[in-house]
Amino acid sequence: MDVVAGDGSTPRHITGESAAFSVVVALSVCHFLNDTMQSVLSAIYPILKINYDLSFTQIGLLTFAFQFTASLLQPAIGAFTDKRPVGYALPVGMGFTLLGLLLLASAGHYLLLLAAAALVGLGSAVFHPESSRIARLASGGRHGTAQSVFQVGGNFGTACGPLLAAFIIVPNGQASVAWFGLAALCGMIILTWVSRWYGSFRRAAAGRPAPDTALLHSRRRVIIALVVLALLVFTKNIYVASFTSFYTFYVIERFGVSVQDSQLLLFVFLGAMAAGTLIGGPIGDRIGTKTVIWVSILGVLPFTLVLPYADLFWTAVLTVIIGVVLASAFPAIVVFAQELVPGRVGLIAGIFFGFAFGMGGISAAVLGQVADEKGIVFVYQVCSFLPFLGLLTVLLPKHTR
C-alpha cells in the first residue's frame, strides 16, 4: 500500500483507504490512559489542599510544576524525533508517568508532590509530540480527523480523571492513586505495539523520494501565522486552566455543592470538551481549518460572558456549550500549523502541545494568586473576556496545503 513520507507529509496520490487507522485508535486509547492519569492530579486538589493545608497559590504551583516540565521539553523532543526518530520513546515516556503516580500516592511532603507533578509532566513531554506525529503518519491524508481521534482520547481521559477520583480516591485517600499505575502499565504494552508498527512503517518508507517541504507562504507570513495560532492557544488554555484547576472550588463556594458533586460538574465540562475535539477535526477537513478556528474561539464569547452570573443549572448548561465550541479549535490549530511548516510535524506538535501545557501552568499559578486576593468568582469574571482575542484569526493566511 502507499505510505506517508517519514516526516508526516502526505503524497497527493494517497487515499483514505490506505490509512493505518488502527494505530490512530491505539494512540487515542493511550492518550485516554495518559490524560486520565494526569488529570488525577488536578482532580484530587481538594484532598491535597486539606491534607497539606495548601493555599490557592500552592495549588497553582502544582499545576505549574506539571505543565512547565511538559512545556519545556515537548518542542525539543519533537524537533529531535523529526530528525532522528526513536522507536521506543513512547513506552519509556509512559514509564515516567507511572513513576510520578507512585510518588504522588506516597508523598508525605509538599516538595515531593511537586516532584511527582514534574515526573508526570515529563511523561507528557515524550508522549504528546511523538504520538501526534505517528497519528499523522497513519492518517492516510485525513489529518484533521486523525488529530481529532487522537486528541479525543486525551479529552475523555481528562474528563474521566475527576470522575474516577470522586469514586476511588475521595473514599480511599491519597494512597489509592497508586491503582492508576495499572493504566500506565496497559499503556506501555499498547505503545510497545505502536512502536513496532512505526518501525515497520519507517522501513517501508525508506526508499521513497523526499516530499516537498517548501513553504507555501513567505517566511514572514508563516511566522506571523504561527504567533497568531500560539496566541489563540494561549487564549483557550488560560480559560481551560480556570476550570481544570479551580472549577471545583468555584461551584463549591458559589453554590455550596459537595466535593463529589463539584467533580461531577467538572466531568461534565471536560466531557463536553472531548465531544468538541472529536467534532472539530472532521469538520475542519470538510470546511477548512480556518473557519473552524473562527467559530470556535470567537463564537464562544457570548457564553463565557454570561457564565459568571448564571445559577447552578445554567452554569452546567453553559459549561457544556463552552466546552464543545472551545475544544473544536485545537485539532484545527495543530493541523493548520503543521501544514504551514511541512516536514516539521513533531516540532509543531511539540510546540503547540507544549505551549498548551505551559500556558495552562503559568496561568494556573497566576489565577491562583488572583483567587487568593480577589476571590474565585472574580477569576471567572476576568477570564470571560479572553475569547475576544479570537479576532486575531483575521491575520491567518487564507490557504494552507
Determine the Cα–Cα distance for residues 40 and 35; give it in Å rounded to an integer: 8
Report, as ranges of residue numbers, the positions in the chain whose pLDDT lies below 50.
1-18
Domains of the chain: 19-205+220-395 (1.20.1250.20)
Q: What is the per-residue pLDDT for 32?
A: 92
- Dihedral angle of Cα 67, 382, 395, 141, to the nearest 10 degrees: 40
The grid coordinates listed for 401 are: 496545503
DSSP string across 337-399 = HHHHSTT-HHHHHHHHHHHHHHHHHHHHHHHHHHHHHH-HHHHHHHHTTGGGGGGGGGGS-S-
Residues 6+ apart with CB under 8 A from 39: 157, 158, 159, 160, 161, 162, 244, 270
Residue ranges of E strands in 57-125: none
Q: Which helix (H) or strand (E) holds 250?
A: helix 219-255
DSSP state of 20: -
How wide is the angle at C-alpha 198 spanned by C-alphas 216 and 281, nearest 5°? 50
Q: Give tens-digit pLDDT for 114-138.
A: 999 899 888 888 888 888 788 878 8
Q: What is the per-residue pLDDT for 10?
A: 42
Q: What is the per-residue pLDDT for 89?
A: 85
Q: Are 42 and 64 in contact (CB under 8 A)?
A: no
Q: What is the per-residue pLDDT for 309?
A: 92
Determine the Cα–Cα distance for residues 288 and 394; give it in Å rounded to an integer: 14
DSSP string across 277-301 = HHHHHHHHHHH-HHHHHHHHHHHTH
Q: What is the per-residue pLDDT for 8?
A: 44
Q: Are 286 and 157 in contact (CB under 8 A)?
A: no
